[in-house]
């Protein structure tokens, strides 16, 4: 205990078993509070702050039996130009009779894991063509088109005019070229045995024939409407 004018600090002794790591260097913490002469906890301002004991202290649990082992960085960069990545193997190993054996990463969780990848740069790529994702198709059937933005950019993604025009990606392409399948209305059927003659005679303009030859007349109307749209 440390005596103060009115109040004093109370703390529990530090124990090595309270270390934050099972091995190696970690930290241990203890509770430090200001109490009055009756033993009640009061504000720290009631005690002399200059005499406040430390509540955090380093602790050393000795050499770890397990540790991270990593190989050299690979000579190969994932990109021939611009920013890429190179990797290395990182495993947790344990000492067993003077020999190292690979074990579960959980055995090394008390230690910071070394990175297994890092950025690499071989050379500048120079100006290149970049493009966005394709837009949605303009039609769901019978042939539409979709577009995307294509730009020539430097390594720092600023606009450039040094790209080869012959290699410029397409900005537009056809899509959904399959034929539209008309929806079938079960109530719309041909009730006349020779509706082909009705269609050839252009009689579908009359409501009577549109009803008796509903299926045949509907196909003709849809076909003529599609031609007008195009």
Instruction: Check whether 152 has a pLDDT greater than 90.
Output: yes
179: helix, strand or coil: coil
The CA distance from 203 to 38, in Å, is 110
pLDDT digits (tens, 9 = 90+) for 183-229: 667 788 898 888 999 999 999 999 999 899 998 898 887 777 655 55
The CA distance from 93 to 213, in Å, is 83
Instruction: Check whether 168 has a pLDDT greater than 90.
Output: yes
The token duo for 12 is 């529990």
Question: Cα dihedral sign for 153, 158, 162, 165?
Answer: positive
pLDDT digits (tens, 9 = 90+) for 71-123: 999 989 998 888 899 999 999 998 766 678 888 898 888 889 999 999 998 88
Q: Are 196 and 216 in contact (CB under 8 A)?
A: yes
**Band of pLDDT at residue 16, cut at 50, 70 and 90:** very low
Share of the chain above pLDDT 70, in %: 84
What is residue 116's predicted lDDT score, i.e. its pLDDT? Answer: 96
Mean pLDDT score of the chain: 83
Sequence-separated contacts (24+) of 34-41 with Cβ below 8 Å: 34/4, 34/7, 34/8, 34/9, 34/10, 35/7, 35/8, 35/9, 35/10, 36/6, 36/7, 37/6, 37/7
Instruction: Compute how many other C-beta atoms are within 10 angstroms of the C-beta atom of residue 15.
Output: 10
């Amino acid at each position: 205990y440390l005596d103060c004018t009115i109040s004093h600090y109370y703390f529990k002794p530090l124990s090595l078993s309270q270390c934050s790591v099972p091995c190696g260097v970690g930290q241990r913490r203890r509770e430090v509070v200001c109490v009055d002469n009756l033993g009640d906890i009061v504000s720290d301002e009631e005690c002399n702050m200059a005499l406040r004991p430390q509540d955090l202290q380093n602790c050393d649990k000795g050499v770890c039996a397990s540790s991270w082992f990593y190989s050299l960085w690979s000579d190969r960069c994932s990109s021939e130009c611009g920013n890429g990545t190179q990797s290395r193997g990182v495993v947790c190993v344990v000492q067993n009779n003077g020999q190292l054996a690979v074990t579960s990463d959980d055995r090394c969780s008390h230690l910071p894991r070394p990175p297994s990848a890092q950025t690499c740069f071989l050379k500048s790529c120079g100006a290149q063509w970049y493009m966005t994702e394709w837009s949605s198709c303009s039609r769901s059937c019978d042939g539409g088109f979709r577009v995307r933005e294509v730009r020539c950019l430097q390594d720092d993604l600023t606009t450039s005019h040094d790209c080869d025009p012959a290699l410029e990606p397409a900005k537009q392409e056809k899509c959904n070229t399959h034929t539209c399948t008309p929806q079938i209305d079960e109530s719309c059927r041909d009730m006349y045995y020779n509706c082909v003659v009705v269609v050839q005679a252009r009689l579908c303009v009359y409501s009577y024939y549109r009803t008796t030859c509903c299926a045949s007349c509907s196909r003709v109307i849809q076909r003529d409407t599609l031609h007008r749209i195009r």
